[in-house]
Structure 1
Amino acid sequence: MFGKRLLAAGATAVLMAGLGACGGGGGSRGVDPAAVTDVGQDDAGTASKAPQAPPSPDTVSGLRDSVRHLARKTTRATRPHLVKQCTSATRQIRHTQRTGTGTHRTTRTWYTTERYQTCKKVRRGTETYTRTVRPQRWCVSLDNVDGDTAKDDVWYQVTPATYDEARGTDEHARMEFTPSGTGC
């Protein structure tokens, strides 16, 4: 009994150590050590009131440059019009019934007609529909992206809420958001 508990405890410890080594914790793997600053101090070197969590790797920040809304672009197109076409048919079903035993055994056979349908889609002309060429997009352009002064006029696709927030701010105001895509 004691051996089973010891074995279970050992397996749990090995599993937890393995998960911790695989990146379950907040390690600094993939981070430039020179870019890491002391969390307890602000830019002036004084102690800050509360430690702030580092931003998500997907989050970008910079100075708002301009905003752009691209409406959905559609066109009319044609495609084959498919209709369901069914044909009726019949087939003969054979039935047999055996009665009696030994030399008094008889077999009676009769047939019934079963009706069925086979359906398939066939092309019958064409139909016109509205095809989306470009989906609707909301975009924000940033300067000094993530503090790099060489990265200016970088366009990001954003949510409508982030777009409205950017429209409400002044030009060159600091913004931080998680983009849904790049380019515009």
Structure 2
Amino acid sequence: MFKRFATAAVTAVLIAGLGACGGGGDSNSAEGSDYSVDVGQDTGGGAGEPQPDTATTADTSVFGLRDQVRHRAARTTRATRPHMAKKCATTTRRVRHTTSTGSGTKRRTRTWYSTEHAKTCKKVRSGTETYTRVVRPEQWCVSLDDVGGDKSQDDVWYRVSRTAYDEAVATDQHKRLDFTPKHGGC
């Protein structure tokens, strides 16, 4: 009798616990809303902030009327960094070798030694060196009007690939362009 009562009590506690933990028809569900929370990353924002518009990501295509094109050359500067040189050292060690022949009282053991050479290398700092550091990579940009057919979306800049930039240059102004941007803004 006591076992049945204990089993029923444990079952009731488990059902109540699982019901509280399950999110069945939760009205605070993030599906279908403009808000999302990524548990694995801390972006410094609050949990209820809207995520950036994903329409400008590299996996979606955009279209609109060609407005302007812009080529931004790479910006570089001279900088110094530690020069790392390879330093090697050779080492030797004496290795003992043995072989045995026969068995019992007729067993003979022969021992000889050989020298093995090993080379170990590591990188060590040896002064500094000057190099060209890229501050901003080369960028090709296209500006569109009426993005996605929305007349209020004018002068929106996109960073594009070199081939998409060449197509935009070859297209007359205010003609429809369709491309996949690398990034939004320029």
Bin the TM-score by the shorter chain: 0.5 to 0.7
Aligned length: 129
| Unpaired runs of at least 5, structure 1 | 1-29, 31-56
Q: 1:92 to 1:141 in 2, by over 3 A?
A: same
Aligned equivalents of 1:113, 1:73: Cα separation in 2 = 56
User: Which amino acid letter does the alignment assign opposite residue 88 of structure 1?
Assistant: T
Give the aligned partner of residue 162 of structure 1. Answer: 164
Q: Deviations over 1:125-150 (max 9, x none)?
A: 11111121111111111111112122
Aligned to 1:77: 79
In structure 2, the gaps of 5 or more residues are 1-31, 33-58
- RMSD in angstroms over aligned alpha carbons? 2.2
> Aligned to 1:92, what secondary structure does the other structure show?
strand
Q: TM-score, normalised by structure 2?
A: 0.61
1:86 aligned residue (85, 88, 94) = 88
Which of 130, 134, 137 pairs up with 1:128?
130
TM-score with structure 1 setting the length: 0.61
Provide the rounded CA distance (Å) in 2 between the counterparts of 1:81 and 1:128: 9
The 1:140/1:92 distance shift into structure 2, 3 A limit, reads same
CA distance in 1, matches of 2:183, 2:81: 31
> In 2 relative to 1, CA 160–111 (structure 1 residues): closer, same or farther, beyond 3 Å?
closer
The Cα shift of 1:154 comes to 0.5
SS at match of 1:63: strand
CA distance in 2 between partners of 1:166 and 1:114 (Å): 66
1:44 is aligned to none
Q: Which residue is 2:64 aligned to?
A: 62
1-structure distance, mates of 2:112, 2:95 = 8
Aligned partner letter, 1:106: R
Identity of aligned residues (%): 63
- Once the 2 structures are TM-superposed, how far is the Cα of residue 180 of structure 1 from its aligned partner? 2.5
Alpha-carbon spacing, 1:115–1:59, altered in 2? closer, same or farther (3 Å): closer
Distance 1:106 1:65, change over 3 A: same
